Amino acid sequence: MLVQPRSNIASFGPFQLDLKAGELHHHERSVRLQEQPFQLLKMLLEHPGEVVTRDEIRRTLWPNDTIVEFDRSINAAIKKLRLALRDSAEEPSYVETVARRGYRLIVPVEREATQQSAITSTEEKEQLSSPILGSRTLIRTVAAVLVAAAAVLLVVRFRSPRLPEQKRSIVERQLTANPPENNIGPAAISRDGKYLAYADSLSTNLYLLAIDSGEIREMPLPGHNQPWDWFPDGNHLLTSGAGFDLWKVSALDSSLRQLWRSPAGDVAVSPDGSHIAFVKWPRHEVWLMGADGEEPHQILASDADVLSGLAWSPSGQRLAFIRRRGVLAKHEAAIETCDLTGGARTVLLSDPHLWGPTGMSGISWLPDGRIVYSIYSGDRESNLWALRADPSTGKPTGDSTRLAGWRNFEAVSPQASADGKRLIATRQHTETGIYIGDLASGKKVFSPHRFTQDDWWNHVTDWTKDSKAILFHSKRNGKWAIFKQKIDGKTPETLIAGTENYFRPKLSAQGVLLYSATASPDRWDPRDTTVRLMSTPEQGGARTTLLQGRYEYACGSAPSSSCVVAEFKDGHLIFSHLDPSKGRGEEIARIDGYHSEVDLQEAQWDLSPDGARIAIVGERKGEIRILNLGDRRITVLPVRDWRWSSLALIGWAADGKSWFALAGADGSSDALLSIDANGNPRVLHETDDQLLTIVPSPDGKRLAFTKRGGVGDVMLLENF
């Protein structure tokens, strides 16, 4: 009699499908799955990595039925399956759509085999059919059972019982619950896993939370400090001050000692507490120094645009970090490791989704060798993943597995206790809204209010020429569309929407609406060749394609003013005349040596109301470059009383003699400035959130801007 294996359980990622019971489990929790999605998942699991065609699905799920609209039925089953798996069609983690063919499972599948007796020979079947031989077989079977039972009794008699090992379910607990107006800042878990240190946006104090009891103690400090890590003694924290310098703070008496005087970030204390690794800003170099700040020295000078997320290996002999090159629309991102001299570098994982719209998350290297990191799966969603690495070499030793995540939230900044049993991460939700404020004269304060009350990623880009309504793009129903909303209105009017993405509306003085369009699901996809610069009459009508490619554009508001188009190419910012009906005209000028983030290009320059001059900002300098379109000369206007680090988001005021701009700061709030013709700045508004656009109204009475901010809380994970 032969024994054959039978695989009833199919495991993929954090899911297990019981083929016999017809049940889907996620971390030991049952997931509701109807019959058709179950059969569809079963088909995909039987052919991992292979395309299961829509015709095969139809024949399997509806073999005897004539379904006129079986495409719709398959789509419904796929939708239900993705909902059960928390998957996305645009950024799939499990089920990938293969255009015009079918679907494919893109994760490995493991089978858990059990043993089942199978009688395979004809002779044995005949024996069981014979009463005499069958009785002999029964006697032998009973005897074998009695012997086995006796053996079990002996084992139980002389050995202590052993409980069967059960697979643990991940445990999640929310540790903080601050309101949106007082958002949680950086947080750090103590090495023993008992305390959480965190900061918020409204206080200069640090807070110490006893995780098990829930008690909170405030640590009064003279300036704003953000916790990065704990020292192994459990009595000291490593923090950064207002200027991103580094301090050692006593958790007992709140005393401080400065360790490093220059801007630094992504700081981590070694497992034994003898060294501190950090990224020196703004050049993004990895440095190493002693626990008291002694002997600081550079170990890695990277050619990357950004280095972030430093983490020590469990042995303390290597460092892991995230390296990013390029801009949002076209970039590379990877987790790398190096030894303590910056050598023996290895690439653990290369994935552009390590970097998302809100930047990159930190990483954590657990005692069991797993490196925990965050992967973006959508515009506003990322999940925690883990990949095991050899602590001595930094080379991967397994496959990536998903740990945790929350729908429509980012899971960022993981950090673990020394024993690896407790992991914290920030559950963050990003909100983008449009704000409008009156530009009061005299001593009245500029007090902007939120104009769009919803959270559909609204971006204001222009005003109507009568200054009574704004134009903006917004992502609703999964697509970017263009809207207009009156200042005293409650709901927007749809101007352009459809099967494609439409964004960045700009209105010419002659009433022609300029905008961008793309057929790609992701308007930032660097491989997208469908982006077009379009135009149409403001009141609707025929649409015209002016240019193919990625361009920025602006129009003056004066009745006789023209439009200008710009592109960033080979280190040049190239300006050309633009006819809203005919397309690009004569080239105006090329600005050399210009470095640009694609998603900020429109914020780096603006056309004057009369269409005669272009104001340009962007470098880490306090100056405005003004390009005269008549003689093509550039003049430089320094901003007086300069105390910030960068200038961006330029917008001409209605008088054509002054500007509005964003002054970026290292270690403190950014400032929305009004700058007069002599370069004198006046702070209108300070914010810790990110400003994306600044748009003054043509009548000079109002200023609209787009602001993006994060609302987050710290989560505790166990049994991961």
Q: How many residues does the chain have?
A: 720
Across 311-337, average pLDDT: 87
Lowest mean pLDDT among 154-163, 275-284, 309-318, 641-650: 154-163
Q: Which fold has domain 302-429?
A: Neuraminidase (2.120.10)
Question: What pLDDT does 124 receive?
Answer: 36
Q: Are strands 623-628 and 613-616 parallel, antiparallel or unpaired?
A: antiparallel
SS3 45: helix
Question: What pLDDT does 408 receive?
Answer: 83
For residue 589, pLDDT over 80 is answered with yes
* C-beta neighbour count of 151 within 10 angstroms: 10
Across 403-431, average pLDDT: 92
For residue 154, pLDDT over 70 is answered with no
Question: What pLDDT does 597 receive?
Answer: 45
Domain ranges for the chain = 2-112, 121-158, 302-429, 456-709
CA–CA gap between residue 3 and residue 79 (Å, rounded) = 40
Domain 2-112, second-level architecture: Orthogonal Bundle (1.10)
Contact 28, 169 (CB under 8 A): yes
CA–CA gap between residue 515 and residue 532 (Å, rounded) = 8
DSSP secondary structure letters along 81-135? HHHHHT--SSS-SSEEEETTTEEEE-S--EEEEEEEEE---HHHHHHHHSHHHHH
For residue 315, pLDDT over 80 is answered with yes
Residue 157 pLDDT grade (very low, low, confident, very high; cuts 50, 70, 90): very low
CA–CA gap between residue 591 and residue 575 (Å, rounded) = 8
Q: Which residues pair with 434 in a beta bridge?
A: 706
CA–CA gap between residue 140 and residue 152 (Å, rounded) = 18
Q: Which helix (H) or strand (E) holds 240?
A: strand 236-240
CA–CA gap between residue 312 and residue 269 (Å, rounded) = 8
What number of CA atoms fall less than 13 Å from residue 552's CA on the CB side?
21
Question: What pLDDT does 7 receive?
Answer: 60
Across 654-669, average pLDDT: 86
φ, ψ for residue 13 (rounded to 5)?
55, -135
Contact 429, 358 (CB under 8 A): no
What number of CA atoms fall less than 13 Å from residue 504's CA on the CB side?
24
φ, ψ for residue 300 (rounded to 5)?
-150, 120
Question: Is 0.85 surpassed by the pTM of this model?
Answer: no
For residue 461, pLDDT over 90 is answered with yes
Each residue's pLDDT tens digit, 511-525: 999 999 999 887 777
C-alpha 435: how far from chain center: 24
Residue listed under structure tokens 């044995």: 124
For residue 713, pLDDT over 80 is answered with yes
Contact 116, 4 (CB under 8 A): yes
Residue 25 pLDDT grade (very low, low, confident, very high; cuts 50, 70, 90): confident
Confirm whether 302-429 and 456-709 share one CATH topology: yes
φ, ψ for residue 600 (rounded to 5)?
-120, 5
Residue listed under structure tokens 């949680």: 184
Mean pLDDT of the chain: 84
For residue 304, pLDDT over 80 is answered with no
Q: What's the CATH superfamily of 456-709?
A: TolB, C-terminal domain (2.120.10.30)
Work out the angle at residue 585's Cα, subtended by the Cα atoms of residues 584 and 588, and round it to the nearest 5 degrees: 110
Each residue's pLDDT tens digit, 48-64: 888 899 888 888 887 76
For residue 565, pLDDT over 90 is answered with yes
